[in-house]
Chain A
Amino acid sequence: MMSDRNDNFAPLGNCRSIRLAEIPELPFDRFADAIVSRTAAGQRVCAFFASAGKASGSTRLQVVIANDDEDSLAVGCCSVSGPAFESITPACPQVHLFEREIAEQYGLKPVGHPWLKPLRYQRSWTDRDAWDRDRGAAILPGVGDFFRVEGDEVHEVAVGPVHAGVIEPGHFRFQCHGEKVFHLEIALGYQHRGIEEALAGGPDRRSIHYAETVAGDTTAGHATTYCQVVEALSGYRTTVHSHIVRGIALELERMANHVGDLGALSGDVGYLPTASFCGRIRGDFLNMTALLCGNRFGRGLMVPGGIGFELDAPRAGELLARVETAEREVAQAVNLLWDDQSVMARFEDTGPLPLETARELGVVGVAARASGLERDVRYNHPTGIYRYVQIPVSTYDTGDVFARAYIRWLEIQQSVTFIKERLRSLTPPSPAPGIGPLPPDSLAVSLNEGWRGEICHVAMTGPGGSFSRYKIVDPSFHNWYALAVAMRDQEISDFPLCNKSFNLSYCGHDL
């Protein structure tokens, strides 16, 4: 453990900035050893990404590590000069997708990576290509090797990209023995819109809108995280009123999605009362966000430096009344689930994710807490209003569909309590000065607990103060592989149920 203190990673608080020069550039071996030893000690990787290095042709690798036990963050970096580096994945599984991303974006090959495939089927940002493809050759999404199980009685089921429901596209490939799933491989990238590339060079008039549409169902989460990273860079102090409104919007977003998920889970096991009730009540929560800012998803509510719409007392009163009504209706609709044997028989022991697996994969959010990991940015690395008001962390230990459903119900109740308290003692708005320019050659990290889990934005500025690199890590990025693992030895007919119990974002992953 002492090595943590001596590995030359720079400590950094959540929503704090640091000059790039203050982050020591380590030789690759020491950089990799630090990641491996820290994650072996229970720390986890929030972000691991590449950016253009100082010398031409070199690449800078940057990592953000969270120590949830001590509630601290650390950033480390190294420089790679060639077209390859030694993969860290064999010793630290949670970086496997990060390394595939680095390979795809920068053409930098992680040698020894156990399953080096494209991640989003996009072109390299440099003139290198990790798979030595021709520059002009078409890159077809989902085309390439898939893990296969051979045998007379083994069959393969391929689903997507276009699915049967009104949902986003992705490709799932199952290796099955009868109904039993041996392995599931998930290929994404269909939603890739080039958001990270477009954010570089900002902030500009589109930046906040990119943040709002990284994952549209997490508009409040990503937009708040974006605003906070900009505020951290410029050393801006947001007013208490803005912090409170942001917190209320984040919790409304959590409740809307959790209620919607509980309804959808109920529908997936054919229990229609809760499915119908929750489908409607979800809309009530979206309308509460619209009460705040006119848009059901919170578009326009977050602006760097504060909020776009103030919450006055009559509006707060109206919101409080609506929250109290919804609280009663949700309780009635959701509690039907836990009393119904046919529902519980489908939820319990389905899609289990063991605690150790969740830890090794670096799982975050509802899925992590359902497997027993006490992991919640609002508790471990609080920012904004959560620095003043602590929301208890809800955990369970079975890691199955039931646990992921039940965590949602516990969190809905915590969010209701939080919002009611904030509305009853609302701090009125105070004048907010405009936000200043960003400092040159700096880095800031902003973490928030979105409804799916940890949202991480890392912004680096160049000599002129504009973004030289903007990294977004949606919670889904950490969790998609966990869904694949949870499906092992399950019945393929339970896939919709397992999938919904994670309810991960395609566009948040694809960016």
Chain B
Amino acid sequence: MFKSIIARAKQGHRTMRYPAGAPPALSDRFRGRPTIEGAKCVQGCLACAQACPTVAITDRVAITDRGAIQGRGAIQGRGAGRHEVDLGKCLFCTDCARACPQGAISHSPDWRLSVSRRGDFMVGMEGGSAASGTSPESDALRLAAALPKEMMRLFGRSLKLRQVSAGGCNACEADVNVLGTIGWDLGRFGIQMVASPRHADGLLVTGPVTRNMELALMKTWDAVASPKIVIVVGSCAISGGPFIGHDEACGGVGDMLPVCLYVPGCPPHPLTILDGLLRLLGRIKSAS
């Protein structure tokens, strides 16, 4: 027993100060949103789009050429190829950056990536950090908003979630679990992962929703009392991730459940997940 007391003293207090204090330091090689240095990009090259494993990158000019989105024709005037990335499909890998012959692609170090609507993930790659004021408005990532007032009244100070892994590879699951460790201490925000859907205010879903988990996911959802919410974590649950197009998976939660928070990544960093949860509960306000 004395040994455990000594160990406790030596291990010390380890819970981070964030969000009151600074966030934990990320690796200098941390990969957030992929961005293109517009001046370097050569129009019509598309090497990055061809290298992308999930076809997350598309060329806006190509879209306007088809006449689908006429309103964006103005951006053709910028000259260089205008690329758009779907951060809901993005694996935050290095394939596009490696493929770019101009070396124009890099990853933003910004960990703040969660959004409230699936469509908000479609952003221009010249956008850079959501926080930097230099990007064109159309390229800024519209970060997640807080829950509506009535839901906030119910869940703002106590949010119990049932986690369902529906084909997740155990990376998203692991980094959700990490939030429960003493370093992150999710409990201090009133958020807790609970053992039963009956105890839960909502689901936190990971994985591309395999066909073999579809029924179990829906049964778990039905077992949660209303009002209830759904949070999806990881590119698999958002879009299918590496398994987009597989017959064995549904391509993410999609329209099966009413999602109120999307956390992208493969897997998302715990800080990205925490940032999303805190925005949902109004603990972090989006910069206007």
Task: Give the B-binding residues of A (Cβ under 8 A).
Answer: 120-122, 140-141, 161-162, 164-169, 189-194, 198, 205-206, 209-210, 212-217, 219, 273, 276-277, 279-280, 282-283, 286-287, 290-297, 299-300, 308-309, 329, 332-333, 335-336, 339-340, 505-507
Contacts and interface: CB of A to CB of B under 8 A. Distances in A.
B124 to A, nearest CB: 23
Contacts of A297: 171, 174, 267
Contact of A290 (B3, B29, B207, B216): B29
5 contacts: A122-B248, A213-B266, A217-B169, A296-B269, A507-B170
B182 A276 contact: yes
Contact of B7 (A167, A291, A294, A336): A336
Contacts of A340: 4
Contacts of A121: 212
A280 B246 contact: no
A320 to B, nearest CB: 16
Max count, chain A CB within 10 A of own CB: residue among B3, B98, B107, B180: B3
B213 interface: yes
Nearest to B7: A332
B31 A193 contact: no
A424 to B, nearest CB: 22
A192 B243 CA distance: 11
Given A206-B53, A277-B11, A336-B3, A309 B171 contact: no
Given A191-B212, A194-B247, A507-B168, 16 more contacts: A141-B212, A162-B216, A169-B166, A190-B167, A193-B210, A193-B246, A194-B243, A198-B246, A213-B169, A216-B173, A217-B174, A277-B11, A282-B181, A283-B181, A290-B27, A290-B30
Contacts of A276: 181-182
Contacts of A140: 215
Nearest to B223: A162
B183 interface: yes
Interface in B145-200: 162-178, 180-183, 193, 195-197
Contact of A217 (B27, B171, B197): B171
Nearest to A161: B216
Interface in B23-44: 26-31
Contacts of B7: 273, 277, 332-333, 336
Contacts of A287: 27
A165 B195 contact: yes
B182 A280 contact: yes
Given A206-B53, A294-B27, A283 B178 contact: yes
B95 A161 contact: no
Nearest to A260: B174
Nearest to A298: B171
Contacts of B246: 193-194, 198
A140 B216 CA distance: 11
A276 B15 CA distance: 11
Nearest to B25: A287
A240 B162 CA distance: 46
Contacts of A193: 167, 208, 210, 243, 246, 248-249
A169 B216 CA distance: 9
A291 B27 contact: yes
Nearest to B244: A206
Contacts of A169: 164-166, 213, 216
A199 to B, nearest CB: 11
B94 interface: yes
B195 A333 contact: no
Interface in B132-149: none
Interface string B254-270: 00000000000011011
Interface of B: 3-4, 7-8, 10-11, 14, 26-31, 50-54, 91-95, 98, 107, 162-178, 180-183, 193, 195-197, 207-208, 210-213, 215-216, 220, 241-243, 246-249, 266-267, 269-270
B195 A339 contact: no
Shortest beta-carbon contacts, A-B, top 9: A216-B171, A294-B29, A216-B169, A164-B195, A194-B248, A279-B181, A290-B27, A141-B212, A213-B169
Contacts of A333: 7, 11
B202 to A, nearest CB: 14
Contacts of A296: 175, 267, 269
Contacts of A217: 169-171, 174
Contacts of B53: 205-206, 209
Given A194-B246, A294-B30, A299 B169 contact: no
A200 B195 CA distance: 39
Nearest to B178: A283
Contacts of A294: 27-31, 107
Nearest to B6: A332
A143 B193 CA distance: 29
A136 to B, nearest CB: 14
Given A166-B177, A336-B3, A300 B27 contact: no
B223 to A, nearest CB: 9
A378 to B, nearest CB: 23
Contacts of B173: 166-168, 216
A210 B53 CA distance: 10
Contacts of A339: 3
Contact of A209 (B10, B30, B91, B177): B91
Contacts of B270: 283
Nearest to B51: A205
A192 B211 CA distance: 8
A193 B180 CA distance: 28
A203 B172 CA distance: 26
A378 B222 CA distance: 48
B93 A299 contact: yes
Contacts of B212: 120-122, 141, 189-192
Contacts of B171: 213, 216-217, 219, 297
Contacts of B98: 308
A299 B169 CA distance: 13
A205 B4 CA distance: 50
A215 B170 contact: yes
A241 B53 CA distance: 27
A279 B7 CA distance: 15
B249 A194 contact: yes
A293 B27 CA distance: 8
Nearest to A222: B169
A497 B94 CA distance: 39
Given A166-B193, A279-B181, A273 B166 contact: no
